[in-house]
Amino acid sequence: MAAARILNDTSAPDYFIYERQDLANVSRDGVCGVKFVDGTLDYYTRSFANEQEAESEGYTVTHGEKCGICSELKILAAWLVHTDLTTPVRKCSAMNWIPGYMEECMRRLGFTDSCAKLWKDNARWTAKHCGAVCMKSWIFGEQYTSGNRTLNECLECDERNSGPILKAFSGRTRRNSGIITAINRTDNEMYYPKHKYFNFIRQ
């Protein structure tokens, strides 16, 4: 999947994404589909209302909710390798004040430049609104979730304050891609695509 090449424009906006608070409540309902160009590893992504509509157009669903900047298969491949992104991304964001550091750190995790930019903006916003509770969480080594799958105070703050805008731009999340991570989620938070792509490439 990492070798596949998207043909859509996935450029990140040149502004701080959290300036767009108007997008926090915009519906992301639907699915994101992938369709390969015959005989190649080049592909397009496109948003659809549901799985049936995507499949009728020859697309296979890659994640729940509409497509976005992080919908590339390269991102999916990276996230399947790094099932705990919270720890490495936290280390990247700790040096976010150094120009270019976080983007390079995220690229080493397999992120594209555009998706890394979104996550950098997310880290900056979370530090502003959740810095104190997250520092406490890190110092005391809190578990990500409790026994009843309730998020710790840091992650809950991040999801409430930063999550809606990040998802509005990114499209793909680990949850809507069906990826089981170190953060223990409930089934009703997950969407499980089949991730069967390469039968769509005709040789």
Q: What is the pLDDT of residues 24-58, one digit of tens each?
A: 999 999 999 999 999 999 999 999 999 999 999 99
pLDDT at site 140: 87
pLDDT at site 199: 56
Q: Mean pLDDT over all residues of the chain?
A: 90
The CA dihedral of 170, 132, 143, 93, to the nearest 10 degrees, is: 40
pTM of the prediction? 0.87
pLDDT band at 202 (very low <50, low <70, confident <90, very high): very low
Q: Comparing 174 with 201, which gets the higher pLDDT? A: 174
Give the full edge-to-edge strand order of the sheet including 31-36.
5-6, 42-48, 31-36, 60-64
